[in-house]
Structure 1
Amino acid sequence: MVDAFFYGTLCHPPLLAEVLGRRVDLIPAVLPGHAVRQALGPAGPLPFAVLMSAEAGSGAAGAVVRGLDAQDLARIAYYEAGYTAQTVAVQVADAPAMARAWLAEPGRWQPGAPWSLADWQGRWAAVATEAVRDYMAGMGQIAPDQALARYPMLLVRAASRLRARDVRPATLRRAASPLDVAVQDRRLAYARFFAVEDYRLTHRSFDGGQSPVLDRAAFVSCDAVVVLPYDPVTDRVLVVEQFRTGAFARGDLNPWLIEPVAGRIDADETPEAAARREAAEEAGLTLGRLIAGPGYYPSPGAKTEYIYSFVALADLPDTAARLGGMACEGEDIRAHVIAFDRLMALVETGEVNNATLLVLALWLARLRPDLRRA
């Protein structure tokens, strides 16, 4: 049996319980002569990694867990990909003790500002605890370095799952209960930027019985936002054009599509914040009032993606038609400012042929008279 010292995210009891598969007692402890720092990646602080830094001072606060067995240590080592285990001398209730701690591999990340468990809990605890279930489910299927590379995407997926728990009406469809679906097996068939999960499951049938065991696959992507900027003074909209791999892979002779501004909702932002960020990144626009449109699954038979849609009031001068996108993400985007009637003509001819812009064009047609009067 081994005692372990934790100083970062594993000091959050619900997350540690997910990693170990059981609850344990955390005993406050301090590692003298050290401090806990944010880990910096290429884009800034990482929400999932912290560093231990040798520094003078009162010491790094953390917690000790007593009596971990080999299985516990293997699970912790998988979660702590990018870290190596070392034995350290800590203070537990003013008494010295030896414990195993996981310290970041030299050079993997750079140290940032002091890290606070309370600050991290306020911003990340719910999402990280949800994400770690998926992360640990990959143990034995996905190599630790690959799992670590996927972790930012797992945070985004976890945020999507938490939003999916919002209660939606069930006046016509059945009122579901947690016992209606029984998962017999879940396997990760593919895991990179997106993932494919294979399920064997049964679900409640409409005759009151239970379905046979079904083999089903889900293409796992995250919640996304789409926004159609509209200038009610000039009666113009801004749409963007870009190459789309899905259309190309289907065999479409023209895989450049006309779409609304769109993008993934990051793990630490709301759909509204994502809409404003994407408008700035893709088209250099500062949006005014956001008007929520329909939220929907574009292809629920096999995809987890859920779309939040908005019409946004904006000033759209001729100069808004420009090139944009994030070069670091491989985006090559051209913005068009066109009259609303031209947009509807493109819908009629089929030149607009993606669901997100079709939905928003029809939604704006419904709102447009009131917006123009206002």
Structure 2
Amino acid sequence: MTCNYFFYGTLRHVPLLEAVLGHPVEARSARAAGFSAFHATRANRSYVFPVLAEARGASAEGIVVTLSAEDRRRLDYYEAGYQAAPIAVEIGAEPQEALTYRAPLDQFAPGAAWVFDDWQSRWGAIVTEAAAEFMSGLDHIPATQGLGRFPMILVRAASRLRARASQSPATLRRAAQPRDVEIDHVAPGYAHFFAVEDYQLRHRRFDGGQSETLDRAAFVSGDAACVLPYDPVRDRVLLIEQFRIGPMARGDRNPWLLEPVAGRVDPLETPEEAARREAVEEAGITLGDLIPTPHFYPTPAAKSEYLYCYIGLAELPDLPEGGGGLADEHEDIRRHLVSFDRLMELVETGEAENGPLLVIALWLARQRDRLRAQAGVERA
């Protein structure tokens, strides 16, 4: 049994609708007279998705697609919390009835006008990429749990898009070709703030053949930005110190680590913007120029995480009392100003045992004389 559906919001973006349904669709332009799309709001917060509300003299533009009962099952999962209800639409000059998913107005109020083209240009590609991960939870993960994970799903989606757009050199290593990796099956093994994905895959061997089917798991997280603030005039850096669950889970007697400023790259951010934002949030400082250091995968055998690392030029006079971090993220951060020589001592003694800190510190050792000369400091 098939039925017509009217999409006025994010699912009006056909690539996203196809990602949710798992197949191509034929869409017809349509409109719902007497309605308009508005940003969903709740508790003085405005969301990027819309609600449909009555608006005299207005007309909500959208698309109509004829879909099956299985399509309805997938839509009900993706649109968890929304209710499908009939609505009168016009396809050209022809009036018809269709189902549309509407946010309950007792939970969301209409805010400012929602403009599809604005959402599509900013969010379309990221949300479309995120839909595949969200829909992989169908029949495995309750939709409400999936919605709770959606902010991190967006972070991971943006990371995947960033990875596809990058072209790192392949002068010594193998240059990958299409069909070098064939994924037979992928399923979520764990899904919460982070995710674990189970893969059945085959990959090209160095002898030209294809491997047997391999059972592999990947810990999936988003990209992160790391920055070591450095004052070339005072020749000192700012380190942060905080409790880390990884060393604790390993059994380390001291799970407090010295680190550079670091944090996840949000979906609409560049890594550079993330580094500057985290410097304000974690250290309370504003960075000047960012000098890229090597970017890298810290644990490629098991994790998808990719780190964008920088030296951040800054003025680092004596710090006021107090720590850093965001209270609503339960961050408890202590800041340390240390000389470059003290930083190298921490590296040599092993007290600095955070991977990104070691990479950036050693890169700073290579660049230090040049950075100090550019700041007008004469060599002794």
Cα drift, residue 59 of structure 1: 2.0
User: Which residue in the other structure is 2:178 paired with?
Assistant: 178
What does residue 115 of structure 1 align with? 114
**2:144 corresponds to which residue?**
145
Does the 8 Å CA contact 1:283/1:322 hold for their aligned counterparts?
Answer: no
Deviations 1:271-294 (A, max 9, x none): 000001000111111110011111
Post-superposition shift, 1:138?
A: 1.6
Q: Is the 8 A contact 1:261 1:278 kept in 2?
A: yes
- Given the two structures, how large is their TM-score scaled by the length of structure 1? 0.96
CA distance in 1, matches of 2:142, 2:153: 15
1:270 maps to 270
Distance 1:336 1:146 in 2: 39
> Distance between the aligned counterparts of 1:87 and 1:55, measured in 2?
17
Asked whether the 8 Å contact 1:217–1:302 carries over to 2, the reply is yes
Deviation at 1:320, TM superposition (A): 5.6
Note if contact 1:321-1:335 (Cα within 8 Å) is conserved in structure 2.
no
Provide the alpha-carbon RMSD of the alignment. Answer: 1.5
Asked whether the 8 Å contact 1:239–1:336 carries over to 2, the reply is yes
Structure 1, unaligned runs of 5 or more? none
Aligned equivalents of 1:115, 1:223: Cα separation in 2: 29
Q: CA distance change for structure 1 residues 317 and 84 in 2, over 3 Å: closer, same or farther?
A: same
1:37 is matched with which residue?
Answer: 38
Percent identical across equivalent pairs? Answer: 55
Query: Residues 320 and 127 from structure 1, CA distance in 2 versus in 1: closer, same or farther, beyond 3 angstroms?
Result: farther
SS in 1 for 2:118: helix
* Alignment partners' CA distance in 2, 1:324 and 1:368: 27
Point out the more displaced range, 272-281 or 88-97. Answer: 88-97
Q: State the Cα deviation string for residues 31-77 of structure 1 (Å, max 9, x = none).
A: 22222112236794434x32112222322211211x31101111111
Secondary structure of the corresponding residue to residue 159 of structure 2: helix
| 1:252-288 Cα shifts (integer Å, max 9, x gaps) | 1111111000000001100000001000111111110
Deviation at 1:131, TM superposition (A): 1.0
Distance in 2, Cα, partners of 1:110 & 1:206: 58
Match of 1:260 in 2: 260
Counterparts in 2 of 1:260 and 1:142: CA distance versus 1, 3 Å:
same
Name the aligned partner's letter for residue 233 of structure 2: V
Letter in 1 for 2:47: L
Other structure's SS at 1:323 match: coil
Q: Please tell me whether the aligned partners of residues 189 and 196 of structure 1 are also in contact (alpha carbons under 8 angstroms).
A: yes
SS at match of 2:24: coil
Aligned residue pairs, count: 372
Tell me the SS of whatever aligns to 1:200: strand
Which letter does structure 2 place at the counterpart of 1:56? Answer: R
Residue 320 (structure 2) pairs with residue 317 (structure 1): no
Match of residue 203 from structure 1: 203
Provide the residue aligned with 2:216 in structure 1: 216
Query: Which position in structure 2 is the counterpart of 1:128?
Result: 127
Structure 1 residues 218, 42: closer, same or farther in 2, change over 3 A? Answer: farther
Residue 22 of structure 1 is matched in structure 2 by 23
Distance 1:332 1:312 in 2: 22
Pairwise CA distance, 1:7 = 0.5
Residue 163 of structure 1 aligns with an amino acid whose one-letter code is R
User: Partner of 1:164 in structure 2?
Assistant: 163
Matching of residue 362 in structure 1 with residue 362 in structure 2: yes
1:86 counterpart SS class: strand
- TM-score scaled by length of structure 2: 0.95
Aligned-partner SS, 1:342? helix
Structure 2 counterpart SS, 1:23: coil
Matched-pair contact (CA < 8 Å) for 1:320–1:337: no
- Structure 1 position 343, deviation (Å): 0.8
1:145-204 Cα deviation digits (max 9, x unpaired): 111112221111111001111111111111111201111221111000001111111111
Structure 2 residue 251 is matched with structure 1 residue 251: yes
